[in-house]
Structure 1
Amino acid sequence: MTELFSIGQLARTTGLPVRTVRFWSDLGLVPPAGRTSGNYRMFDAEAAARLDLVRTLRELGIDLDTVERVLREQVTVADVARAHVRALDAEIRTLRLRRAVLSSVADRGSTTEEMKLMHELAKLSAQERQRIIDEFVDEAFAGVEPRPESAHIATGMRTMPAELPDEPTPEQVDAWIELAGLVADPSFKARVREMATAGARSAPRAEPMDPTSVVEHAGAALEAGIAPDSPEGQEILARIVPESTPRDKRLELADTLATFSDRRVERYWSLLGTINGWPQRPPAVPAFEWVIDALRAS
């Protein structure tokens, strides 16, 4: 004869509170094997095993509806475990993002509004972040002749990671927030478009300026505090641009460099680098600005 247990006995056997056993039984998760003449529920050994399974699943954070589906064999425990792992991974990423945002807020001394904005931006999905960047690039390059140079720049400007790292640094959260603000600025979008359309119109120069030379010589002049319009500055310019270059060509070169030199655009690339974990390069635009001033002063 099968041994039967009252709710109290089953509770003592499993270590669960009587009210919990009764509640799960009321939900149909642990049906009684029979009833006494006084209409009290009685349970068998299978009920004890089901209780153990229900308790384990609940302690793992599985909701009661899913527990019921497992018990009815509509899904397997393995299926539930895989789904729960995915859910936990998403929750862990969210918690890490919150931690990074709070660290950034603490370092910045941010206001409540700034913290709210940072949190809203940081928790965007990868698809939402990519959409913001794609819309910016699409508008900036709309109608621009698809020359290889322009296509390469546009593709590069879209490069976002699939998601922020599992443990984003405050710098990466800050970079994403600053980047989102930058692409939302109409003046920045207009500046990128100006560069894109100018690049599509202009023919390649026969003797392009060596950017390494600019960074080396003009960068050193900047560090030394040498004015671009000074005699010493003009001597340094001669190491970058031949002294024989006519005045009109110098002014034309200065205008071209000014069109394609922009600190905010360079900052865009730097922010993308921080988000993607790329090696950072020292800013080069200040050196080109020095050359522009030197060309116009010569």
Structure 2
Amino acid sequence: MDGDTLHPIGELARRTGLTVKTIRFYSDRGIVAPVERSPAGYRLYTVDAVARLDLVRTLRDLGVDLPTIRRVVERELPVPEVAAVHAEALAVQIRVLRLRYAVLTAVAERGLTAEESDLMHRLARLSEEERRGLVGDFLDAVFEGLGADSAFAGIRRSMTPEVSGDPEAEQVRAWVEWAELAMDPDFRACVRRMAQDHATEQPRGGAAVLRRDVGAVVRDRVGPVLADGVEPASPRADPVVAALAAHCAHVLGRPDDAELRRLLLARLGRMGDRRRDRYVEVLAVINGWPAPESLSAVFDWAAQAVRVRLERRGTGGRRP
């Protein structure tokens, strides 16, 4: 098929792999028009029709609409420009599909109800501005009025999720779970109490450096004995509890008595909340950080050890 030879529609179909019906459809819309008709009324095409049809099929496979294709084949639009536009459109579709995949797999894994599934969809589809609003609302509820110095602000930043513009499916699922935690009034209140605990442990006078909190001391003191298999009620745990109580007494400026140990027990209970661990885990996924170490076992051990010694004193373990 070359030169000035004219060819019937059946020959085009054979050369391009398209059906006669499809070629006739494009022909009727002026995208690949015949140059003339035979005496019997059959459409005849030049060799250029093969190249046009190949281009049309490629653009249709990319999802380009027919009006745009007509402009391309008539050379009103350059192919690279059309390809760039549709590449961006495909990128948007990929992000949407990734979002749907993340939500559907989360629904399947967690066995959610229809209402919970709807909530997940709505959370996952929040705009960037809406996500920032939700994050800011949660962090304000936790930290408002507790300190404006740069060191304390660093804690707020360390608890802030940064959702990328093109998150992976795992990050989308983590974001949805973060949002569910952030909107839970009970969890907000618990985190607020932990932030208040931390604030009361800090030196007065606007110092820019934060004092080591009880949580860090618990981790360092309890971690080794927990790894050694020491039971919370064991006499070997006495020095650990004494050290924790002494640190708490020092930072709060009060004696190590039953009331202080009840305060310590209450703080350990809040720090050992499983939701706190989960918050840190999903935050790491969202922000692309290394997986954090779980501290729930450490806080549980410390709380049991303090409670046992309170009960031995006969003071009970009621929370303040």
Match of 1:91 among 67, 90, 93: 93
In structure 2, the partner of 1:249 is: 255
Give the TM-score, by structure 2 length: 0.69
C-alpha distance in 2, partners of 1:69/1:144?
A: 62
Correspondence for 2:68 among 61, 66, 69: 66
SS at match of 1:69: helix
Q: Percent identity?
A: 37
Q: Does 1:179 align with 2:181?
A: no
Asked if 1:226 is matched to 2:232, the reply is yes
Inter-partner Cα distance in structure 2 for 1:75 and 1:144: 60
- Runs of at least 5 residues in structure 1 that lack an aligned partner in the other structure: none
Question: Given the alignment, which residue of 284, 295, 315 partners 1:273?
Answer: 284
Partners of 2:232 and 2:135 in 1: how far apart? Answer: 39
User: Structure 1 residues 73, 141: closer, same or farther in 2, change over 3 A?
Assistant: farther
- Residues in 1 aligned to 2:292 and 2:212: alpha-carbon distance in whole angstroms: 25
The offset of 1:281, in angstroms, is 0.7
CA offset digits 1:12-38 (Å, max 9, x no partner): 343321221121122221233245577
Q: Match of 1:286, as an amino acid?
A: D
Q: Distance in 2 between matches of 1:157 and 1:193?
A: 13
Shift of 1:82: 2.9
SS across alignment from 1:66: helix
1:237 — aligned with what? 241
The Cα shift of 1:269 comes to: 1.9
- Go from structure 1 to structure 2 and tell me whether the alpha carbon gap of 1:62 and 1:202 turns closer, same or farther (over 3 Å shift): same
Do the aligned residues in 1 keep the contact of 2:231 with 2:237 (CA within 8 Å)? no
Residue-by-residue CA offset, 1:74-130 (whole Å, 9 max, x unaligned): 432223323333333443444445445444444444445544544554455666544
Question: d(CA) in 2 for partners of 1:202 and 1:56?
Answer: 67
Over 3 Å counting, the alpha-carbon distance change for 1:69 and 1:106 in structure 2 is same
Relative to the length of structure 1, the TM-score reads 0.73
DSSP-derived class of the 1:238 partner: helix
Range that drifts further, 66-75 or 46-55: 66-75
CA distance in 2, matches of 1:218, 1:30: 78
Of 60-69 and 150-159, more deviation after overlay is shown by 60-69
Aligned CA RMSD, in angstroms, stands at 4.1
The correspondence of residues 155-166 of structure 1 with structure 2, limited to 5 A, is 155-162=157-164, 165-166=167-168
CA contact (8 A) 2:198 2:213 kept: no
User: Match for residue 153 of structure 2?
Assistant: 151
Aligned-residue offset at 1:65: 3.2
